[in-house]
Structure 1
Amino acid sequence: MNLWDTITSASANLWRNKGRTILTILAIFIGAFTISMTLGIKAGVNDYVDKQVKNVGRDDLLMINKAVSDDPNKASDEPKEYTEEQGNAEDSYLLDEKDITKITKIAGLTDVKPAESFSPDYIVGKNNKKFVLSASSTDGIDVDLKAGKQVSQKGDAYEIALAANYVKSLGFANAQDALGKKIRIAASSQATKAQSEVVATVVGVRNPSIVNNGDSVVSKALAEKLIAINKAGLPKGMQNQYYAILATVKNPTENNITKLKEKLSKHGYGASTFADQVGMIHSTVDAITGVLTLFGAIALLAASFGIINTLYMSVQERTREIGLMKAMGMGRGKVFLAFSIEAILIGFWGSALGVAVAMGAAKVVNKVATDSFLQGLDGFNLLQFNFSSVAMIMVIIMLIAFLAGTFPANRAARLDPIDALRYE
């Protein structure tokens, strides 16, 4: 009996007791479906995050903060003793001009500048309605745009790329209609509370994103103007304090960035790239899907006992048949192979059914998600599958099925042909 004859014979024998076989396959199906769905979510979310990182277009930008604790591994919940040099809790992580000078001297870094934030009061558009505005500067980072162009990082143009949800609220028909239009942004002095308005041009409309927070973004000149309004009237010492410093890495290889982080750490600073920040999203997604995958693994473990039971009962029912095959010259190896193939076929049909249903369900889930809670997140498919992941799931499940089937297959192979022929 050649391999193909063994496979066809095993397939036929598998369906002698259809009810038992179907129930075992369904148990495998549940595990395969669960694992396929969770891995599909993991692939979909991580793919979207990776797309957002690529859209940023910069891997050479370091955000540098003051390291509050010299040894983060020894961080304590106990309150720290006050010293005049350290100042209050907020002062402990603020940076100033001395820090900029210090960081500028570190080899491998260029274009060192403060990462200043501003606080606008409201925005006024075509319909003259006022809306609270959440906005930030891009610091040279490109954002994913629905329409238009990136805001300028040079010159004195006051430009803004609106968040998509502001377009209709400001009185524009759509993203294209907003391009080139004038809007007004108001900001107030933190010291005097005097309010001023700045006229800016809409040059772009950005897509919503789970990586970037979806704020509107403004040009460098507009950011500087709003910062100046916020700081007007403040004492000079308070005007030159920053929460972070930005620096460009001259040669942004992974090795160089790691070395620069170590250098900065020795000087009392912490540093991170944009990829480091979004890496937390990957970690969170991996942790959640890992837990869900565990439930699928438990279902497969339960199903493996079903395989053992199915094949064990098959061996019991076919004892005389096995004895006859061995009496006719069929060796232990071929008997073991025949029952192992039955186990593998159970794994194959269960995993194939689970993956197929998961892929069909993914189309429905993606459609519902896009029309509801993922609305506006262009290019985000919640569930994604590829050939390699599907093949990996099926191979692993078939391997589990094979291992589960080794006990009854080995028992069948070890049967004595004389005793088996006498079996009632």
Structure 2
Amino acid sequence: MKFRDILNSAGSNLWHNKGRTLLTIIAVLIGSLTISITLGINTGVNDYLHKQIGNVGNTEQMIISPQYSAGDGTGPQKYSTKKSSQNADGMMTKKDVEKIKRTKGIKNVKAMKDDNVEYAQGKSKTKYVINAQTTLGIKYDLFVGKQVATSGNKSEILLTKEMAKAFGYKKVRKILGKKINLVVISPVTKKKSTITAKVVGIRNESMVNSGQSVYSHGLSEKIVAANQDGLPKALKDRYAEVVATPVGKSDAAVAKAEKALSKKGYDAQTLKEAVKQLFQTFNAATGVLIIFGAIALIAASFGVINTLYMSVRDRTREIGLMKALGLGSGKVFSIFSCEAILIGLIGSLLGLISAMGLGQLLNKAAASSFLKGIDGFVLVQFNWSSSLLIVGIICLITFLAGTLPARRAAKLDPITALRYE
């Protein structure tokens, strides 16, 4: 008997008791559906989070700040030259920057000053508060346009869609190339400075750094200079944070650099580490749902065992006849094993197709409700590799479940089987 004959025999024998087989396939379908839709959500969320941390941006970039443990329960700290009241607010001085630059394991150290803007104005002339940051050199997820300059003196800005609309552009694409005014008021001289910035891109809305516009390096420098007008030199040389890049990209190299900075009294964290906990949270949540799917598959595997045991009992005389005609135990085992695999294959494929259909409905519902306005976020996504893996694992589970009844069928004595009533 060839493999083709074994497969045909298994396929036809599977439907001797349609009701029992259908119920078993439905049980497998439920497990497959649960796991498929859960992995689809996991893929969708992780894909979106990867976009928001810059896709191919420098996620190893470190953000460095002074260590200050006022909330650790140890009470007020004693004064030292390293920890004074002056730097308790998180600001750093030139000495801090020089000390950080001398730390082994990091490069491209850049000190960032406070770049506060009083308000911003577009063609509508209405004054708006603007929430923005200096570019960190990563590639931001853009709806349209290009990235701002990370060096030089160009005054460029990335806006959010809301800001573009507020400035009087219902079709946000039309603001590209236009200029807006940023007004800075010096806290010392009260001098009002108007800085013109060219809009070069529009950011996609996101859950990471939501609502923040981005200044180019040159624009940030002009804003800082206007803020510091009239300040004593000692107060000008204060920095909100310092960014640097580890020399090596491996986790060990990053950890070594962080340890070296910690010994000097600084906390450091990479962008990758900052979002690591977010990834872990979503993965843990989807992991729990996968466990429920696995429980459903375990229950389905017992259904497979029951279905095939009943099939062996119902077809005992048929098995005896096949063995009496010369069919070996291995062939009999193969027939029942193929039946188990077919149950897994049909159930998993139907579950996968159902999950894709349900995923489409969930995506439409999410886009019109809790994900409304968040571009680039497809809640449920499927890929071929994970889909084929699900089908393969389920077929393996049903095959293993079917080995017990298949083994029993293979061991039947043909004479005893023929006499079975």
Query: Please, what TM-score do these two structures have when normalized by structure 2?
Result: 0.86
* Alignment counterpart, residue 84 of structure 1, candidates 79, 86, 89: 79
Post-superposition offset of 1:157: 4.2
What residue ranges of structure 1 are gaps of 5+ in the alignment? 70-74
Matched, 1:114 2:124: no
Instruction: Find the aligned partners of 2:277 and 2:284 in 1 and give their Cα distance.
Output: 10
Q: What SS class does the counterpart of residue 168 from structure 1 fall into?
A: helix
Instruction: Find the aligned partners of 2:236 and 2:59 in 1 and give their Cα distance.
Output: 30
Matched, 1:281 2:310: no
The letter for the 2-side match of 1:17 is: N
Deviations 1:220-252 (A, max 9, x none): 343244445556677876655545311245665
Matched, 1:21 2:15: no
Post-superposition offset of 1:158: 3.5
State the identity as a percent: 49
* Alignment counterpart, residue 269 of structure 1, candidates 254, 266, 271: 266
Deviations 1:102-128 (A, max 9, x none): 111134544423233444343222112
CA contact (8 A) 2:57 2:137 kept: no
Aligned residue for 1:317? Answer: 314
Structure 1 241/263 Cα, relative in aligned 2: closer, same or farther at 3 Å?
A: same
Q: Higher mean Cα deviation, 223-232 or 101-110? A: 223-232
Aligned residue for 1:420? Answer: 417
CA contact (8 A) 2:66 2:266 kept: yes
Q: What SS class does the counterpart of residue 112 from structure 1 fall into?
A: strand
Deviations 1:340-377 (A, max 9, x none): 11111110100011112222333343344445444454
Instruction: Find the aligned partners of 2:86 and 2:33 in 1 and give their Cα distance.
Output: 51
Aligned residue for 1:159? Answer: 156
Aligned residue for 1:336? Answer: 333
Instruction: Find the aligned partners of 1:391 and 1:307 in 2 and give their Cα distance.
Output: 21
* Alignment counterpart, residue 213 of structure 2, candidates 186, 202, 216: 216
CA contact (8 A) 1:56 1:143 kept: no
Q: Higher mean Cα deviation, 364-373 or 137-146? A: 364-373
Q: What SS class does the counterpart of residue 148 from structure 2 fall into?
A: coil
Instruction: Find the aligned partners of 1:360 and 1:15 in 2 and give their Cα distance.
Output: 27
Q: What SS class does the counterpart of residue 11 from structure 1 fall into?
A: helix
CA contact (8 A) 1:207 1:376 kept: no
Alignment RMSD? 3.2
Instruction: Find the aligned partners of 2:8 and 2:146 in 1 and give their Cα distance.
Output: 63
Q: Higher mean Cα deviation, 283-292 or 321-330? A: 321-330
What residue ranges of structure 2 are gaps of 5+ in the alignment? none
Instruction: Find the aligned partners of 2:270 and 2:118 in 1 and give their Cα distance.
Output: 30
Q: Higher mean Cα deviation, 354-363 or 147-156? A: 147-156
| Alignment: residue pair count | 419
CA contact (8 A) 2:68 2:88 kept: no
Post-superposition offset of 1:21: 0.6
Q: Higher mean Cα deviation, 362-371 or 95-104? A: 362-371
* Alignment counterpart, residue 356 of structure 1, candidates 353, 357, 362: 353
Q: Higher mean Cα deviation, 128-137 or 266-275? A: 266-275
Matched, 1:44 2:44: yes
Instruction: Find the aligned partners of 1:293 and 1:11 in 2 and give their Cα distance.
Output: 30
Instruction: Find the aligned partners of 2:106 and 2:95 in 1 and give their Cα distance.
Output: 16
Query: Please, what TM-score do these two structures have when normalized by structure 1?
Result: 0.86
Equivalences for residues 134-145 of structure 1 within 5 A:
134-145=131-142
Equivalences for residues 190-269 of structure 1 within 5 A:
197-228=194-225, 240-249=237-246, 256-269=253-266
Matched, 1:365 2:370: no
Q: Higher mean Cα deviation, 89-98 or 242-251? A: 89-98
CA contact (8 A) 2:133 2:215 kept: yes
The letter for the 2-side match of 1:84 is: Y
Instruction: Find the aligned partners of 1:60 and 1:422 in 2 and give their Cα distance.
Output: 74
Instruction: Find the aligned partners of 2:158 and 2:26 in 1 and give their Cα distance.
Output: 52
Post-superposition offset of 1:313: 1.4
Equivalences for residues 93-112 of structure 1 within 5 A:
94-112=91-109
CA contact (8 A) 1:185 1:197 kept: yes
Aligned residue for 1:4? Answer: 4
Q: Higher mean Cα deviation, 149-158 or 320-329? A: 149-158
The letter for the 2-side match of 1:350 is: G
Q: What SS class does the counterpart of residue 120 from structure 1 fall into?
A: coil
The letter for the 1-side match of 2:302 is: F
Structure 1 161/306 Cα, relative in aligned 2: closer, same or farther at 3 Å?
A: same
Post-superposition offset of 1:299: 0.9
Q: What SS class does the counterpart of residue 62 from structure 2 fall into?
A: strand
Structure 1 253/323 Cα, relative in aligned 2: closer, same or farther at 3 Å?
A: closer
CA contact (8 A) 2:42 2:282 kept: yes
Deviations 1:200-224 (A, max 9, x none): 3323222223444341111234324
Q: Higher mean Cα deviation, 170-179 or 296-305? A: 170-179
Instruction: Find the aligned partners of 2:150 and 2:361 in 1 and give their Cα distance.
Output: 43
CA contact (8 A) 1:320 1:420 kept: yes
Q: What SS class does the counterpart of residue 165 from structure 2 fall into?
A: coil
Post-superposition offset of 1:164: 1.3
Instruction: Find the aligned partners of 2:86 and 2:142 in 1 and give their Cα distance.
Output: 38
The letter for the 1-side match of 2:167 is: L
